[in-house]
Chain A
Amino acid sequence: MLAAAACGHRAAARDATRDATRDATRGVTRGVTPGLASAAALARMPWDSVVARARGSTVRWLLWRGDPAINHYVDEWLAPRLAMRYGITLDPVDAQGPAILNALVVEREAGRTVGTADLLWINGETFHNLRREGLLAGPWARSLPAAALVDTASPIVARDFGEDPAGYESPWGRVELALIYDSTRTPEPPRTYEALADWVHAHPGRFTYDQGFTGLAFLTGLMIHLGGGASRFTGPFDSARYVAASARLWDWLARARPDLWRHGAAYPQGVAQLEHLFANREVDFAMSYNENEVVSKVRDGALPATSRAYVLRDGALANAHFVAIPFNAPNAAGAMVVANVLLSPEAQLEKARPDGWGDGSVLAVDRLPPEWARRFARLPADARQVPRDTLARYAEPEASPRYSELLQSDWRTHVRTGTTEDPSAGGDPESRTTRPALRSGP
């Protein structure tokens, strides 16, 4: 099947080779390494030519290296296979969204047309910002042979925080926001946001959320629910909708605040701190933007053995994460080969194993060869995981990144400091961003 998909690209092969040669020639005049071809030009070449260019190269991949299960998958499963099959040396380097953006901006400002990174692990706000700043190469992702297997019917995989990837990034995995509880401490956890509010009031000091990415996702999900559900948050950012929904969110948080951990005067800096509080019984809930992470965390001893993940029936935010190629990648061909391997059924299945990383697949089962479909169906389940049908039933796609940006900014300015005024009272949030007098206080 992959070979058949590759054949489909041969029609444009001659033109693409000419484009790539032209790019390389231009590159010499710009100080670019001879032989360098842009990802867009490579995307029009036959796949065999891309693989030939990638063979024996090194791919530097900027990705988050904070999880031993992910590191093990990348270092022990992926890297040896890339080396064996393509002679590619994988060079994983620790970096996250904001750091990646800052580094690429600096490289662009320094005039570095040949950068240092070939592949980036990103999604959501980072993709939005990188695209807005023109820091990504492409389009290339749809040209990968394995792209034919991707579940493009799913809005969670086909769009990135409501934005069309447009071939500038290739999906790698999908996750869903889950709450984590201890089945011995909380045998009947609240199943809706309203029930959660009641639970918080009935158990003062036992609930909080973190100030980082996961906590922001929890707040975003709550805002979407209070704002009428995910269907009202599709499409471009709607300023009026943000003002109305966030006003309800601030009200919910203000009512919960006295009964939050430390009376809402302090919040864990990140999800790792929240997990620490949960593991040490200071609070009764943790969170994870990977519904299966609880399994590896229990295995590593970071969470109690009786920890369980679950999703709220009001809807659980879900998103896909992607790999992208920076505008100045020195080895776009190598990056594309790695991205294609990441999308292969073999790599996706390995990644989904609950005894490993436990990351969701982005492939459509009905597009897989029958043998691979059977293997995915036989994936072992862990009692701590959320059942797959439950995940599918309550999954909701992320809204435009602008909602999260404003939510983060307004939460930091007002909720964190205990300001009682409604941050939404500052008027149109888009104009508040550029009008400092209103941004600085309600």
Chain B
Amino acid sequence: MTARASGSAPGAALAGLVAAPVVVGLGYSAAAAIGLAGPAARGLSLVHIDRVMRDATVWRGLAWTIYAAALATALATAAAVAVAIGFRGTGIGDRLARIAALVPFPIPYVVAAAGAVLVLGQSGLLARLAAAAGVIHDPSGFPPLVLDRPGLGFILTFAWKEVPFLTFVAVSVLATRGQQLEETARTLGASPAATLRRVTVPLLWRGLAPAVVLVFIFIAGTYEGAALLGPTDPLPFAVATYERYQALDLTLRGDGFVLTLLGLILGLAAVAVFEWTRARAERLRS
């Protein structure tokens, strides 16, 4: 008991140390959002909250961000699951495929985004190749994939960048827990398709879901990639937040803190949805 108590105290202290900056930041953001802190703070006021709530561009930007982050996460998840299930053997081909899926891992996000501009832009590598091959008359005829409203460049880049992380988790889940359960199912007479559907996929879902939620929250909150690849209108949420925080008009800085809090709510909502779906799945299984 004593040992447990002494063990938990440093743990609690460490947790507090990790959480403290977030809590302080949250408190400061809340104070700045109501005019009690930050540049040009002039006392308690709801003007920043009111202005953000009435600003349609904020909500359009938020909707775009959720759409783009969800689509990029879904694509990355699908690719990671395909690699984890399709190339799980010990043969050289399977190993090479798994290694290939991990290649984007060490590339910094901002480098990936800048690279995407060079490859996907209307004067980029793909456009020039297409023009050289005669597919389009001129590179400018290439469809806009950067700074475009559908956010194709952003989605493809972040999906590509997140495949390694999700593949790593998916492969680990299957390697540590999958094999034994699958063999048991097959021993009991389950077909390969039934094993995949009833054992492998649920296992992956349970193991991968937290990572998927993390990836969604990360993509939704990313700034550099959104600034380089995202559309001008709707403006990605992170860019809109930073823009207000850097605005020449000091009275707009407080709006940036309101958006920061909204971003936090978005992240918490993603976690809540994840917990709800997991609890529901647990209930269905039991």
Contacts and interface: CB of A to CB of B under 8 A. Distances in A.
B82 interface: no
A408 to B, nearest CB: 5
Question: How many residues of B sit at the interface, in one of the four size bands?
Answer: 35 or more
A437 interface: yes
Contacts of B248: 98, 125, 129, 401, 404-405, 408-409
A437 B253 CA distance: 18
Interface string A416-430: 111000000000000
B251 A434 contact: yes
Contacts of B252: 409
Given A133-B39, A133-B40, A409-B252, A262 B144 contact: yes
Contacts, number: 90
Given A98-B246, A416-B233, A441-B54, A265 B227 contact: no
Contacts of A418: 233
B189 to A, nearest CB: 58
B23 to A, nearest CB: 16
28 contacts: A101-B250, A102-B253, A105-B39, A125-B248, A262-B147, A266-B147, A266-B231, A266-B232, A266-B233, A268-B147, A269-B227, A269-B228, A277-B123, A280-B123, A282-B140, A405-B247, A405-B249, A408-B247, A408-B248, A409-B247, A409-B248, A416-B233, A417-B233, A433-B251, A436-B47, A436-B51, A437-B54, A439-B51
A49 interface: no
A105 B41 CA distance: 10
Contacts of B123: 277, 280-282
Nearest to B47: A436
A441 B50 CA distance: 13
Interface string B80-119: 0000000000000000000000000000000000000100
| Pairs of residues from A and B, 4 with the lowest C-beta to C-beta distance, nearest first | A280-B123, A440-B54, A436-B51, A98-B246
Contacts of B247: 98, 405, 408-409
A436 B55 CA distance: 9
Given A267-B232, A409-B252, A439-B51, A280 B121 contact: yes
B245 interface: yes
A412 B246 CA distance: 13
Interface string A245-282: 00000000000000000100111110001001100111
Interface in B130-162: 139-140, 144, 147-149
A409 B249 contact: yes
